[in-house]
Structure 1
Amino acid sequence: MIEYTEQYFRGLDLWSLWVDQAFVNASADGLRNFYLYSLSDECEKCPYTRIHEIKSEYDETNIIELDVAHRLYFRVFERNLGKYAYDNDSFVCQFDGNLGEFGVYDLRIKDNGTTTCELETAKEPVSIYLPFLTIALIALTLISLVVGGKYLARRIRRIEPQLTPGSPSSTQNDIKKNARLRSVDTFRGIAITLMIFVNSGGGHYWWIEHATWNGLHIADLVFPWFLFIMGVCIPISIRSQLSKNIPRVSILQTITIRSLKLFLIGLCLNSISGPAMSDLRIFGVLQRFGIAYFVVSTIHLYCYKENEQFVNPVCARNVDIFRLWRHWLIVGILTLVYLIIIFFVPAPGCPSGYFGPGGKHFMGIYSNCTGGIAGYIDRMILGDKHLYQHPTARYLYDAQSFDPEGPFGCLPTTLQVLLGLQCGVLIITYTNAVSRIRRLASWGVALGLLGGILCSFSKNDGWIPVNKNLWSVSYVLVTGSLAFFLLLICFILIDVKHYWSGAPFLFAGMNAIILYVGHTVFHKMLPWHWNIGRMNTHFMLMLEALWNTIMWNIIAYILYKKNVFYSL
């Protein structure tokens, strides 16, 4: 059985452990008690945190349960230093260990004049990646069978289209200007499918879940990709409305109503656990969608001139960019204001330029500075009780409440949507497939390099680290780069070469808002979610997450077949 371990080992109930947990059996020779402190590899510039008092005599309390998702470093002290131990505190021994799930480890502290520590493996941990690889292989096998079956069916029925002497070539490079790109809907479908999967737990793998503070994990790609593809559709939608001679005032009214709908739906979803107004979270994913959509759509409605011509040859060759110079100016000012504030305006009791997680970060000297000035502004606008109470940094860093979708972060979010809008204008301006491919690739490379320079191609050591919580500029650029590349791949495979229809993601992309609201409302309800047994392994958690994701994709397929499509 995958990720299976026997229930009992030396009297320890291994099935009582949660995913990514292990037992440490600590013992101390001699007459003194010792204190064990640990430090996670994920916790940047943190002190060691007390986890257990190791008594000299044998005691069941010397059995310690540890979270071993990340590498741990240990120090043993002969006195209780309180909750934290710092680098200037004297310790009797230190060691580190790459402990694993459901492993059992013996820690022996020998106190014979000179104190020494030994950590030995009593029972080997299980492989946590075997379930992931197994499920991936099963999925690839099923996909191969489906694709192979369809290919054989086409061959048998001889349904391949035959080109007649006067018919257009199937390899033509020009794509109809008003043709709907299936790659755009497929991109949106990939984003919503990935969102459902990670919101279902993603198998509880740390690299799938959101990064604790700095860094980029799979879950951190979903939201910016949604904003990007929303930006792609803005110029296409507004162009279509203007071509029907709809007044700009009426279009602005439609934009405003849609933005309010997004905000209000998001607010209602925040009350799903109970509509207590005293601590209702005000902002969220859809709320930020609504604000960013309103700002960028309004800018495009009144600033874009599709027939604007340029004499300068550089401008003429890049007309899709220079027709948006007003957009870039306005959003550039908003982004500059954001950067000036986070770098030069200090929050009370915090230094200027600090945008760390607070808590025990930097050895706890900025414990009340979670998010720096960004967190402070959000707390002043909304109040602490109306922020998100379970940020990723709260448990590892002992940080304050912090809202990753708070109001201040809306400023750089407009840049994310503008990148998508730039992509949409590129698609409208250039109908030649080769031109689109070159420009999509160029944007992907340029944004990736610029984002990498800002973060110094590192997790924590750059000028502006990649940070989803703060929606840092480097985060916008890096995720924007990946969005350009993903859309490029979809465009080539689906709209140019016709190797792929976009299924099954195409169906999800056509009803993304239904899937988003639905998977939020019916979270933890049958038949989408279930609990079988202890649900304490990556394998079972991955199965449940995949089941939920597949169920919603089946619903999307049924809606697609019935021609039921809903958009705000």
Structure 2
Amino acid sequence: MMWKISLIITLTVIILNTQRVTSDEHAEYTSDGFRPGRDVLDIHSSSYGIAYVQFNFDQEKTVLVWIQTEECVGCKLLPIAYLSRKTEKEKTVALIDTSWATSIKVTTATATYPSINNTYCELRHHFGLIGEYNLTIPATIHNTTAECTLVILKKPFYENTAVLLGYTVGAVWILGALIWYYCIKRHCLGKKSTQCNGNGHVPHDQTPLAPVNDMKESSTSLRLKSVDTFRGFALFNIAQGIAGDGHYWFISHSRYYGITVADFIFPWFVFVMGTSIHLAFNNLLSKGRSYRSIFKKLVVRSITLFFLGVCFQPHNDLRTLRIPGVLQRFGISYFVVASSYLVSRRLLARRKERTGKWYMMFRDVTDYLELPLAVCLITIHLLLTFLLPVPGCPLGYQGPGGPLLGENGELTNCTGGAAGYIDRMFFTEAHMITYSKSAKIYRSTVPVDPEGILGTFTCITLCIFGLQAGKILHLFSSAKGRIIRLLIWGMALITCSAVLSKCHLADGWIPINKTLWSVSYIALTGGLAFVAEALLHFLIDVTHFWSGSPIIYMGMNSILLYLGVGVLKDYLPFTWHPFYDNHSESAIMSVWSAFFWLFIAYVLYRKKIFLRL
């Protein structure tokens, strides 16, 4: 036990002394020509996703260029630069971000905002990577706004080449492994395997879970390979994302609305934690552990997770120490769900045993307190979101706020709606995340914390969904019944998310939003987690078609690897200072880092080194 505490303290000290806070300053716009070195909207440096656009015009007048990216949903155009015949040629070249389509309007120099009467031309175009374009501005203003003439001087590259190649190599590797494994399985290693039956085939309903036909728990080990593999898959993607993830927008976290690959990782970790609560507690109870001792264990673990989260920060100034965080939310969610589950089991043990047909069919729903708790939490979340008055903001507002939204900047201080308002009142801005991803796009001035109070309610709900998956995997003896139940839950939640968001990016009743952990967001991620768990359970636990290797090794040592990935992300041999600083090198670095951590996980597994809280 002492070596575990020493390891945690050592890692915490390293974090506090090796990381530094970096800050980005907003660019000054409306200058004489475009700023060199960064894209015109100051979203990122010119190393990733940039096109070169030369602005040409013949008139002797000065014009004003307005630009906005379509990722900024509902935003006003921004005045970027004044251009005139006296402007140097180098300063008439704009670096345009190629992640999303861009809207451009060119107006008179005195225009306060583009309109038909002051606009020379306008254009909406999705520029290509390192493409060179010539944009010609007409000499006069017409009654109807004309489209700017755009000519391609240099054909752009396909921006997603690196990630497409990476996924192709991965798919080929998986296909080769499946062919090899299928041949081995078909011949059953020369029919010498003990798993083969008389016909040389592997039985398709083998599972380490014992059938549970009464309320007395089996002493069979309930550690499922599919659960560890699911957790390992999430951790593998964390290692890949922290190392750069190629700097592709669809792999990195979403700016505000919508969902990307990275936005599934944290929710799936929470989901698997809920699944593990049921399986682990059943093991402890079957071994004769008392409810009191289990409760003490879960309290210690919750406090440890919260403490690590507070310490796992790039600075140690107590005046600005961030209180919310990922591990803090893990600790709170674990405590609430595990405690309620323990109370359910205690009440269940005191109740008279039941064996009715309908009861046995739905006992995973009727016997526990967690689902009613989830309904209460979602209800509170929705009531606060839509009914809590936020000073100066529309009732029920869930948007990013900022001066670019609204008619007269009335949404400037409305970032995050009720969720942001509650966090700013409770934590104060000094103890929240200082700069959100949405600020770069929406120019918001007040913080919104992605691990805030209101989002913790839905996070606990998602953990309860994971607990429900664990109950399904344990309480039902039929593999077909388990998989069908998992898929039903998954499809129901995905449908719920589609209805709430209206399958639209920002115009639904409750848009999918990772920053706020909206109800539609946890419904989508939870639903897909049910589907993924059903697939892994079928492949790994039921048919034994896949052992989960090598991903499973990361899932069996998740806490140690999570801390290691966070601490050592800026050190060799995990990452290096880039030579070219482009998509391809970043993608290579992220894949290398993920597989290097996978190798470390395998070594730790072979050495039987595990860190458990």
Task: Give TM-score scaled by structure 1 length.
Answer: 0.91
**Aligned mates of 2:181, 2:323 — CA distance in 1:** 48
Instruction: Quote the residue 1:219 is aligned against.
Output: 262
Contact 2:206 2:543 in 1 (8 A): no
1:244-303 CA-partner distances (Å, limit 9, x unpaired): 333322222111110111111111111xx3312222222111110000100111111112
1:293 aligns with 2:339: no
Q: Offset at 1:96?
A: 1.2
- Cα gap change, 1:354 to 1:312, in 2 (>3 Å): farther
Instruction: Quote the residue 2:293 is aligned against.
Output: 250
Q: Offset at 1:118?
A: 1.7
Instruction: Quote the residue 1:514 is aligned against.
Output: 560
**Aligned mates of 1:54, 1:260 — CA distance in 2:** 58
Q: Offset at 1:315?
A: 4.5
Q: Offset at 1:241?
A: 2.1
Contact 2:57 2:138 in 1 (8 A): yes
What letter is aligned with 2:271?
A: F
1:439 aligns with 2:470: no
1:160 aligns with 2:201: no
Contact 2:231 2:555 in 1 (8 A): yes
What letter is aligned with 2:484?
A: R
**Aligned mates of 1:398, 1:89 — CA distance in 2:** 28
What letter is aligned with 1:516?
A: Y
Q: Secondary structure at the match of 1:111?
A: coil
- Equivalent position to 2:316, from 256, 260, 275: 275
Contact 1:43 1:361 in 2 (8 A): no
- Equivalent position to 2:73, from 27, 37, 44: 44
Contact 1:207 1:218 in 2 (8 A): yes
Contact 1:27 1:54 in 2 (8 A): no
1:126-153 CA-partner distances (Å, limit 9, x unpaired): 1112222222233334445556566778
Q: Offset at 1:199?
A: 2.3
Question: RMSD of the TM alignment (CA)?
Answer: 2.7
**Aligned mates of 1:137, 1:442 — CA distance in 2:** 31
Instruction: Quote the residue 1:176 is aligned against.
Output: 209
- Cα gap change, 1:314 to 1:170, in 2 (>3 Å): closer
- Cα gap change, 1:247 to 1:67, in 2 (>3 Å): same
- Cα gap change, 1:430 to 1:157, in 2 (>3 Å): closer
What letter is aligned with 1:160?
A: S
Contact 2:206 2:541 in 1 (8 A): no
Contact 1:173 1:434 in 2 (8 A): no
What letter is aligned with 2:579?
A: G
1:391 aligns with 2:436: yes
Contact 1:27 1:56 in 2 (8 A): no
1:350-407 CA-partner distances (Å, limit 9, x unpaired): 1210011001233533011100111011111111122112312110001132210122
**Aligned mates of 2:181, 2:607 — CA distance in 1:** 22
Contact 2:120 2:140 in 1 (8 A): no
**Aligned mates of 2:497, 2:359 — CA distance in 1:** 24
**Aligned mates of 2:299, 2:257 — CA distance in 1:** 34
Contact 1:412 1:476 in 2 (8 A): yes
**Aligned mates of 2:559, 2:272 — CA distance in 1:** 13
Q: Secondary structure at the match of 2:258?
A: coil
Instruction: Quote the residue 2:124 is aligned against.
Output: 96
Q: Offset at 1:431?
A: 2.3
**Aligned mates of 1:495, 1:46 — CA distance in 2:** 49
- Equivalent position to 1:21, from 32, 50, 58: 50
Instruction: Quote the residue 1:483 is aligned against.
Output: 529
**Aligned mates of 2:117, 2:315 — CA distance in 1:** 46
Contact 2:120 2:141 in 1 (8 A): no
- Equivalent position to 2:397, from 350, 354, 363: 354
Q: Offset at 1:119?
A: 2.0
Q: Offset at 1:38?
A: 1.2
- Cα gap change, 1:71 to 1:169, in 2 (>3 Å): closer
1:378 aligns with 2:423: yes
What letter is aligned with 1:28?
A: F
What letter is aligned with 1:384?
A: E
Contact 2:107 2:118 in 1 (8 A): yes
- Cα gap change, 1:172 to 1:104, in 2 (>3 Å): closer
Q: Show structure 1 runs of 5+ residues with no match.
A: 1-11
Q: Offset at 1:56?
A: 2.5
Contact 1:21 1:66 in 2 (8 A): yes
What letter is aligned with 2:66?
A: Y
Contact 1:203 1:543 in 2 (8 A): yes
Contact 2:196 2:202 in 1 (8 A): yes
1:22-47 CA-partner distances (Å, limit 9, x unpaired): 11111221111111111211111110
Contact 1:27 1:55 in 2 (8 A): no
Q: Secondary structure at the match of 2:255?
A: coil
What letter is aligned with 2:326?
A: V
**Aligned mates of 1:439, 1:74 — CA distance in 2:** 51
- Cα gap change, 1:174 to 1:209, in 2 (>3 Å): closer
- Cα gap change, 1:112 to 1:358, in 2 (>3 Å): closer
1:237 aligns with 2:260: no
Instruction: Quote the residue 2:241 is aligned against.
Output: 198
Identity %: 33
What letter is aligned with 1:119?
A: L
Q: Show structure 2 runs of 5+ residues with no match.
A: 1-35, 39-44, 211-219
Q: Offset at 1:531?
A: 2.4
Instruction: Quote the residue 1:410 is aligned against.
Output: 456
Instruction: Quote the residue 1:321 is aligned against.
Output: 365
**Aligned mates of 2:129, 2:158 — CA distance in 1:** 8
Contact 1:465 1:472 in 2 (8 A): yes
**Aligned mates of 1:88, 1:369 — CA distance in 2:** 31
Contact 1:346 1:372 in 2 (8 A): no
> Which deviates further from its counterpart, 50-59 or 488-497?
50-59
Q: Offset at 1:543?
A: 0.3
What letter is aligned with 1:22?
A: A
What letter is aligned with 1:551?
A: F
- Cα gap change, 1:163 to 1:34, in 2 (>3 Å): closer
Contact 1:494 1:501 in 2 (8 A): yes
> Which deviates further from its counterpart, 209-218 or 114-123?
114-123
- Equivalent position to 1:140, from 157, 168, 171: 171
Q: Offset at 1:483?
A: 0.1
**Aligned mates of 1:397, 1:164 — CA distance in 2:** 63
Instruction: Quote the residue 1:466 is aligned against.
Output: 512
- Equivalent position to 1:56, from 78, 85, 94: 85
> Which deviates further from its counterpart, 99-108 or 326-335?
326-335
